[in-house]
Amino acid sequence: MDARELIARRAAQEFKDGYVVNLGFGIPVLAASYIPEGVEVILQAENGILNFEAVTRLGEEDPYIADAACQPTRILPGGSTFDLAMSFAIIRGGHVDATILGALEVDQEGNIANWALPLSPGKWSPGMGGAMDLLVGAKRVICTLQHTDKKGRSKILKKCTLPLSAAKVVDLIITELAVMEVTPEGLVLKEVAPGVSVDQVKAATEADLIVKGPVPEMRL
């Protein structure tokens, strides 16, 4: 499997039965395809939907309903739609159990930068959308991203260099190489991907990693 699928599969293992979950664009949305059997989650989309179908087959979608990634979907029995004010009241009110978001950078303190890239001197790509609300409103923040950029530079840093979306909010980081937990002690290496060694993860990571005994293989 490719890196994106591996990350999405591992992220889906964090879903707990009955959770209200918000999924960001990209890899996080893919996680909906791998929800473990027997686990039911209530998906919330920031554009104003609660309890919609995780994966909708082509031809079965409701043409009037789309999630926050503009993917056609269907509302499940008991689900609802509402305006943005209500949607963000749900997020800011602490009613989202977990959010899975992508990132450009994340660091060992749990800081996350997931919205701004420099386009030219003094100019940045536009706004972060609802990410800042989700990062401070969700009970658990799971960050999914590829471990390094196209030049092989680590995205798991000692300190973020890009403008932050939120500070000290990330609970768990999942990449194609490892699972890392942000703790008061620092960044703890919890799992390694199949075929990946602890030394390989350390070599690809700028952040200081804490290793406590043998590190198990990723749950997929």
- Burial of residue 28, with CB atoms counted within 10 A of its CB: 0-12 exposed, 13-18 middle, 19 or more buried: buried
Query: Is 0.85 topped by the overall pTM?
Result: yes
- Which domains, and CATH codes, for the chain? 3-210 (3.40.1080.10)
Q: What is the DSSP letter of 155?
A: S
Residue 200, classed as helix, strand or coil, is helix
Q: In a structure prediction context, what are the per-residue pLDDT tens digits for the chain, which is 220 residues long?
A: 899 999 999 999 999 999 999 998 889 989 999 999 999 999 999 999 999 998 888 888 888 888 887 888 899 999 999 999 999 999 999 999 999 999 999 999 999 998 876 667 877 666 677 889 999 999 999 999 999 999 999 999 999 999 899 999 999 999 999 999 999 999 999 999 999 999 999 999 999 999 999 999 998 8
- Among 46, 105, 176, 191, the active-site one is 46
* Structure token pair of residue 192: 């390694």
> DSSP class of residue 148?
B
Q: Annotated catalytic, 176?
A: no
